[in-house]
Amino acid sequence: MALEFPKDKWSGSVQEVVIGATAADGGTRATTVTVGGETTMPFIHFEAETPNRPVLALEIKDFRPDDWSALLLDFWGEAANDPGAWAKAAEEAGADMLLLSLSLTDPDGNPNTPEAAEKAAKAVLESSGLPLLVYGPGQAELDNELLVPVANACAGERVVLGICEDKNYRTLVATAMANGHLVVGRAPMDVNLSKQLNILIKDAGLPMDRVLMDPTTGALGYGIEYGFSVMERLRLAALRGDVMTQSPMAVSVGFETWKTKESKVGEDVPETWGDWEERAISWETITAITLIEAGADIVILRHPESLKRVRAAVDNLITAPELA
């Protein structure tokens, strides 16, 4: 029997977005990444080619994050004390891109300062040639206070500034426009809220080829099913031609999974949880692959071993299979 594979016909596509700028484009990055451009549900090669592979980023911090899992701190060792050294180590560990996430306070508990943030960002740019995302600590006012000077200091590098929510998007968009950067907006797991936020960002003046969206996810066991479904719904909406849902999606998988008990804690847990390190890495890997299958364009991880395993899956998914 001759079979005709059931192809969906889509009218829309995901917006293509370039992150990072090389010397030719007025920046200093050694490489750039391009995400988006999909015209099918994830990796359905028999409908159309997937133009860009999902990008795997590693998250680093401006100050040693003592609240992180000991597994992560042990892995990074000394490098975690210094953002420049950490950036270099993360690049060597195989990341496509780096997320510098700024802390709420310094190690002594004093509020983080614009000077410190700027210094950290510069150190990262100097020691690594990778494209960069920079996220504030997640409190609208402090985010603005820290990210504006960082944006100025990184002018021309096509950095992604985050995270825009409805409270702080204006300032971030304005500084992104002034300095040639991009933004990422985060809405709480809801197609319409993601859409609305994109409309606000666009109306504030940023072209859509400089906007990413973070639909929010939960970790495996802590709400991943909501993240999975909202991403599938956003991707379907984008392909059906709903323009304000067509931004590439970036998700903070490492942030979510490494705060779960399964990853954070090695002692006094049920015996059936097995080996701590392997469990934690699997937790991050399973979460990442699940969301990539749902349409994630950028996955931000914390452990290089997870990155290696996710990369192996992506390398294969991105190539068109022979379908006899």
Partner 1 sequence: MAISGIQIYKLLPKTNCKDCGFPTCMAFALKLAAKQVELSACPHVSEEAQAQLAASSEPPVRLITLESDGSKLEVGNEVVLFRHEKTFYNKPGFFFLVKDSEDPGAITEKVKEIDAFVVNYVGIDLAVDGFAVKSEGDGAAFAAAVEAVRAGSKRPLILIGDDPAVLADGLAKLEGEKPLIGTANPENWEAFADLAIANKASLVVTAGSLEELADLTPKIKDKGLADLVLDPQVTAFNDGLAKHTILRRMALAKNFRPFGFPIIAYPSQAATPEAEVALATQAVTKYAGFVVMENFAPETLYGLLVLRENIYTDPQKPIQVQPGVYEINQPTPDAPVMVTTNFSITYFSVANEIESSGQPGFLLVADAEGMSVLTAWAAGNFDAEQIAKDVKKFGVEEKINHKSIILPGHVAVLSGELEEELPGWEIKVGPRESVDLPAYLKQVA
10 binds partner 1 (CB under 8 A): no
222 binds ligand B12 (CB under 6 A): yes
226 binds ligand B12 (CB under 6 A): yes
CB 300 within 8 A of CB 59: yes
Q: Answer whether the bond into residue 163 is a cis peptide, omega within 30°.
A: yes
Using CB under 6 A, count the residues that bind ligand B12.
10
Nearer to partner 1 by Cβ, of 155 and 318: the residue is: 318
Count CA within 13 A, CB hemisphere, residue 291: 38
286 binds partner 1 (CB under 8 A): yes
Residues 6 or more apart whose Cβ sits within 8 Å of residue 241: 10, 11, 12
For partner 1, which stretch binds (CB under 8 A), given 31-39, 43-51, 156-164, 201-209?
43-51
Rounded CA-CA distance 148/309 in Å is 35
Task: Choose among ligand B12, partner 1, none what residue 110 binds, the Cβ cut-off being 5 to 8 Å by kind.
Answer: none
CB 131 within 8 A of CB 97: yes
Q: How far is the CB of 240 from ligand B12 (least distance, A)?
A: 21
Sign of the alpha-carbon dihedral angle for 226, 231, 236, 242? positive
DSSP 132: E
DSSP string, 164-216: E-TTTHHHHHHHHHHHT-EEEEE-SS-HHHHHHHHHHHHHTT--GGGEEEE--
Task: Choose among partner 1, ligand B12, none what residue 216 binds, the Cβ cut-off being 5 to 8 Å by kind.
Answer: ligand B12
174 binds partner 1 (CB under 8 A): no
The H or E element spanning position 60 is strand 55-61
CB 51 within 8 A of CB 16: yes
289 binds partner 1 (CB under 8 A): yes
Task: Choose among ligand B12, partner 1, none what residue 205 binds, the Cβ cut-off being 5 to 8 Å by kind.
Answer: none
Strand pairing class (17-19; 33-35): antiparallel
Binding map of ligand B12 across residues 197-216, x = CB under 6 A, - = no contact: -------------------x
Binding map of ligand B12 across residues 249-268, x = CB under 6 A, - = no contact: -------x------------
Pick from 17, 146, 159, 189 the residue near ligand B12 by CB under 6 A: 189
Nearer to partner 1 by Cβ, of 101 and 285: the residue is: 285
221 binds ligand B12 (CB under 6 A): no
For residue 20, the SS3 value is coil
The pair of structure tokens assigned to 312 is 């192996």
DSSP string, 278-310: HHHHHHHHHHHHHHHHTT-SEEEES-HHHHHHH
The pair of structure tokens assigned to 246 is 């067509």
The H or E element spanning position 86 is helix 83-92
Q: How far is the CB of 193 from ligand B12 (least distance, A)?
A: 6
Q: How far is the CB of 49 from partner 1 (least distance, A)?
A: 12
Query: Looking only at residues 176 through 235 of this chain, which bind partner 1 when binding is defined by CB under 8 A?
Result: 188, 220-225, 228-229, 232-233
Pick from 103, 262, 295, 302 the residue near partner 1 by CB under 8 A: 262
Q: How far is the CB of 67 from ligand B12 (least distance, A)?
A: 13
| Residue numbers at the binding site for ligand B12 (CB under 6 A) | 188-190, 193, 216, 218, 222-223, 226, 256
Interacting residue ranges for partner 1, rule: CB under 8 A: 1-3, 5-6, 41-46, 188, 220-225, 228-229, 232-233, 236, 259, 261-262, 264-265, 268, 270-276, 278-279, 282-283, 285-286, 289-290, 293-294, 309-310, 312-313, 316-324
